[in-house]
Amino acid sequence: MDQLFAFPLEIPARGRLQALHGQLRAAILDGRLRGGQTLPSTRALAGSLGVSRNTVVSAYDRLLSEGYVSARQGASYVVADVLSSRTATPHARPAGGDSRLHPRWREVTLPIPISAVTPARYDLRVGLPDTSRFPFEIWRRLSARALRTLSRTPAIYDAAEGRLALRAAIAGHISFTRAVACSADDIMVTSGAQQAFDLLARVLVMPGRTVIAVEDPGYPPLRAAFEAAGARVVPVPIDAEGLVVERIPAEARVIYVTPSHQFPLGMVMSPARRLALLAFARQHGAVVIEDDYDGEFRYGGRPLDALQTLDRDGVVFYVGTFSKSLFPALRLGYLVTPPWAMAALARARQLSDWHGDVLAQDTLALFIAEGHLARHVRKMRRIYGERRESLLEALSRHAGGMLLPLAADAGLHLATTLCAPTRIDALIGHAAGQGLRIESLRDYAMGDGAPDGLAFGLGMMPTTRIEEAARLLGRLLRAHPDA
């Protein structure tokens, strides 16, 4: 083992692929494997560790799909330079993490920044909008106006809930577009949806006692926020109508759902399930977190009422974001909260960062008030709708019989199931090596909740390249049967 790496690799009897992948990724992130270093051959490493060569190939391919390594001609794998902007730690990290840290934070692996991933010709990653169509000139003009106004006001800290003008603009916008019944007083502006999740975890979780029920598959960053706060996270299965309410454990006091466009499978929660979920929350004294992350992009039919609209008992927290409708770097989202929770959330916000970027908030308030947000969403809905139809048609032509699209009429991505067993890790890794970035539905599951399938984002793929991407994917699917 010492002849291959200068550090030990511990491979358990079960979960060998996950263990090998995780340890190699950690070694790359903390600098033990440096950029440009060639990894041992799959055959040599398999022999050294006493595992099958397929296990090593799958681990390498997963690292390739995540951008941690690159592939060279001749089947060699080279560590990517993901630490070029960081200084290597001068001292070795203690085994098990530094005891000065809370145990929960001693052994954490930072995800590779999206900006550090090598650009791909065919980029179908999930969760990334098309920012090339954003009216930056209008934003620049409104930002200059907001800055001039700020220059005439005292330099003081602002309210933790966010700027009143923006909260009022958001209330008007979502009342019209999503029938969410609220006023400015019900809204807290956050640094994206993730801060909303973190704040909710802070005020709702009693460490070691609170149980949160989440969709499986579902959104990993939400799970991470509640786990970090000390909650016990319980997966609940999904079917064609959304979250299976009767499978929610009776002890759950927080329930997280994406009813408008389930993440990542895409179905809409049925009216019956919505009413059943609210009845469960009312009966058990639970609250519901409704994440409407991309519900503005709907391509057919009338959207169902939000859970918040149906709520008569003050149990729903409605979370929205501008990362998908505008651009992620803006880092602005919002939380519509029942009145009983606003004071606690505001205090929690003060203790973390007091309040968000005032200039960005004032600019967004003007952007909404002058109708630019509504116009931009209408334009992008048409563009994403065209890409969605083109992708469905291209997949039918080039991967028909191998992929089955799941029904979805909204959102910035679509999901498909695989019609036959496929070596998914190898498929994704080899696709990345040929300039095609796709994602596995398994990456979003806690247990066995995800079907074998792929998710395709619409934001980074222009319509002109969709046909080529689908043709390449079809060839790769035929080359990677699980046999």
Residues 225, 201: contact at Cβ < 8 Å? Answer: yes
| Residue in 196, 147, 134, 474 with CA at minimum distance from that of residue 324 | 134
Q: d(Cα 44, Cα 18) in Å, to the nearest integer?
A: 19
Residues 270, 227: contact at Cβ < 8 Å? Answer: no
| Residue in 410, 462, 469 with CA at minimum distance from that of residue 437 | 469
What structural domains and CATH numbers belong to the chain? 16-102 (1.10.10.10), 156-371 (3.40.640.10)
Both structure tokens of 185? 């007083």
> Terminal CA-to-CA distance of the chain, rounded, Å?
30
Q: Write out the chain's pLDDT in tens, 483 residues.
A: 446 888 888 888 888 888 899 899 989 988 889 888 999 999 899 888 989 998 998 899 889 888 889 887 666 899 988 766 454 444 555 666 788 888 888 777 776 667 666 778 999 999 999 999 999 999 999 999 999 999 998 778 899 999 999 999 999 999 998 889 899 999 999 999 999 999 999 999 999 999 999 999 999 999 999 999 999 999 999 999 999 999 999 999 999 999 999 999 999 999 999 999 999 999 999 999 999 998 889 888 777 889 999 999 999 999 999 999 999 999 999 999 999 999 999 999 999 898 999 999 999 999 999 999 999 999 999 999 999 999 999 999 999 999 999 988 889 999 999 998 888 888 998 998 899 999 999 999 987 767 899 999 999 999 999 999 999 999 999 987 764
Q: d(Cα 100, Cα 106) in Å, to the nearest integer?
A: 9
**Cα 471 from chain centre:** 27
Beta-bridged to residue 238, according to DSSP, are 243
